[in-house]
């Protein structure tokens, strides 16, 4: 069974600094998708970024970028120029096409002013 | 785009009553909808997956007679918690997705419903 591991239960960063959240996963498949979701205190799950496994180029969305290492089964999220609004729970997730989404346990990010 | 709504956002009910939660995809047709449950400070737990016009597929350990799911159209799915008890109190989240040209079928989430059973 596929598993997703987020080894950092909590992280903190100073406003305007950069932080990296770690995620590793276990799968025997070659075609799959990886996601980072953000859940702020409102509890609304928001898609931050997604990566198709067949793409070698790392996905980027404004201040958010990933370091996708397929062989190492690693999918870290880098947040640049951190803002107070980035404070949230971040969930890494894995999914094969048309299969269920598998979530990690989450990393709570605190942004200090 | 890709907005999912849920109604109600919170509900309080008495033990033994039934509660219905609606999930709507507002600007797309959702081929598949998902229902999750989230306990405080925990990750999301998938309860069931539903495709429009067919019966929902429930995860192991989820009582299908207690958590009734209907996916009557491509934009609406409902979760009914029947004969609710205090242990059913939780945060319920739906999500919706569609398959487009074989690309990733990303899930978009609703804002969630907080259920409190007295």
Cβ(A96)–Cβ(A4) below 8 Å: no
Q: How far is A62 from chain B (nearest CA, A)?
A: 18
- CB-defined contacts A:B, below 8 A: 50
Q: Around Cβ A56, how many Cβ atoms within 10 Å? A: 7
pLDDT (0 to 100) of residue B1 = 65
The percent of residues in chain B predicted with pLDDT above 90, rounded, is 69
Interface residue A96 vs chain B (CB under 8 A): no
The answer to whether residues A20 and A76 touch, using CB atoms and an 8 Å cutoff, is yes
- What is d(CA A53, CA B6) in angstroms, rounded to the nearest whole number? 31
- CB contact (8 A) between residue A45 and residue B46: no
Residue A112: both structure tokens together: 């200090």
Q: What is the mean pLDDT of chain A?
A: 95
What's the pLDDT tens digit per position in B69-108?
Answer: 998 888 999 999 999 999 999 999 999 987 664 445 688 9
pLDDT digits (tens, 9 = 90+) for A62-100: 999 999 999 999 999 999 999 999 999 999 999 987 788
Please tell me which residue of chain A has the smallest CA distance to B101.
A97
B28: Cβ contacts below 8 Å, ≥ 6 apart: B1, B2, B96, B98
> Are the beta carbons of A42 and B104 separated by less than 8 Å?
no
Q: Are A43 and A58 in contact (CB under 8 A)?
A: no
Which residue of chain B comes nearest to A52, CA vs CA? B104
Query: Quick count: other Cβ atoms within 10 Å of Cβ B15?
Result: 12
Question: Under an 8 A CB cutoff, do A100 and B42 touch?
Answer: no
Which of B44, B51, B91, B95 is the best substitution to test chain A (most A C-beta atoms within 10 A)? B44
Which pLDDT tens digit goes with each residue over A27-67?
999 889 999 999 999 999 999 999 999 998 999 999 999 99
Q: Strands, DSSP E only, in B26-112?
A: 32-38, 44-51, 57-58, 67-73, 76-81, 90-97, 108-109
Q: What is the spatial distance between Cα A78 and Cα A70, in angstroms, rounded to a whole number?
A: 17
Please give the full DSSP string across A5-68, using - where no structure is assigned: E---SEEEEETTS-EEE--EEE-S-SS-EEEEEEE-TT---EEEEEEETT--SPPEETTEEEEE
């Amino acid at each position: 069974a596929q598993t997703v591991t987020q080894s950092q239960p909590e992280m903190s960063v100073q406003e305007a600094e950069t932080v990296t959240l770690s995620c590793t996963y276990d799968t025997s498949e070659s075609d799959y998708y990886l996601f980072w979701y953000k859940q702020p205190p409102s509890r609304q799950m928001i898609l931050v970024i997604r990566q198709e496994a067949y793409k070698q180029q790392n996905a980027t969305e404004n201040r958010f970028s990933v370091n996708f290492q397929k062989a190492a089964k690693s999918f870290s999220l880098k947040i640049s120029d951190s803002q107070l609004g980035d404070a949230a729970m971040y969930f890494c997730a894995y999914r094969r096409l048309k299969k269920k989404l598998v979530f990690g346990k989450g990393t709570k990010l605190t942004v200090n002013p | 785009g890709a907005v999912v709504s849920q109604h109600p956002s919170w509900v309080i009910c008495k033990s033994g009553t039934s509660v219905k939660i609606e999930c709507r995809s507002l600007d797309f047709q959702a081929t598949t909808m998902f229902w999750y449950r989230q306990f405080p400070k925990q990750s999301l737990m998938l309860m069931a997956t539903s495709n429009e016009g067919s019966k929902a597929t429930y995860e192991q350990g989820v009582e299908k007679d207690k958590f009734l799911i209907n996916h009557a159209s491509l934009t609406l799915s409902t979760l009914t918690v029947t004969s609710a008890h205090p242990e059913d109190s939780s945060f319920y989240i739906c999500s919706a997705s569609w398959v487009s040209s074989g690309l990733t079928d990303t899930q978009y989430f609703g804002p969630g419903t907080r259920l409190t059973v007295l």
